[in-house]
Every structure is written in structure tokens, then in C-alpha cells.
Amino acid sequence: MAELRTPEVEDLLNVLAGITDPDEVFALLEDLFTIREIKDTSQRLEVARLLRQGESYASIEKTTGASATTIARVSKALNYGTGGYQKALDILGVEE
């Protein structure tokens, strides 16, 4: 994914890393993304949380409304990805 790290992406990363106020982050998300994109992204984080807590796919699907495909994709990223979900869950204080 090195080709994704363009100067524009670097600018976005620097902006996100520089905002410490959740309300300011939310304002940026509202400007950058559709409501659906914000909801979908938030849903994936909740799926990761529930997976880390040992919930079953069926339970997660029922609780979040996420598809089995989305749950599997999040699980793969959680277990074999670059650690982004792990870091997010650590920030949220989610334990296994």
C-alpha cells in the first residue's frame, strides 16, 4: 500500500494526528465523509471491539447489523493487518 502514501494522504494523516479535540475531529469527518461512510467506519470499529472481546460472528451480526463479509474482513485485519485496529482498541481501553 506504499503507493497510497501520496503527499495528499500525508497531509490528511498530519491533520488527523494534530487534532486532539473529539468535536473538531467530528467536524472534519462530517465535512470529509458522507453520513453513511461515518456510520460504516464506526460499525467496523465496533465489530473489531466485539471480536477482540471474543464474541461470535452470529452475535456480532445481530448486534451491529454488519454482514458476515464485513465481520470477516475486520477479523482478518485485526489478526493479520498492520495494527491499526489494535491501536484504536488500545486507545479505547478494550481488552481481550
CA 46, CA 5: separation in Å to the nearest integer? 26
Examine the pLDDT at 2 and tell me if it is beyond 80.
Answer: no
pLDDT tens sequence across 55-72: 999 999 999 999 999 999
> pTM here?
0.90
Residue 95 has pLDDT above 70, yes or no: yes
CATH number for the domain whose boundaries are 24-92: 1.10.1270.10
- Could you state, in order of their start, the residue ranges of all structural domains in the chain? 24-92
pLDDT of residue 96: 80
Question: How many whole angstroms separate alpha carbon 84 and alpha carbon 16?
Answer: 14
Q: How far is CA 96 from CA 41, 49, 52, 53, 54, in A?
A: 21, 9, 5, 5, 7
Q: Residue 85: which pLDDT band, with cuts at 50, 70 and 90?
A: very high
Mapped onto helix, strand or coil, the DSSP state of residue 12 is helix
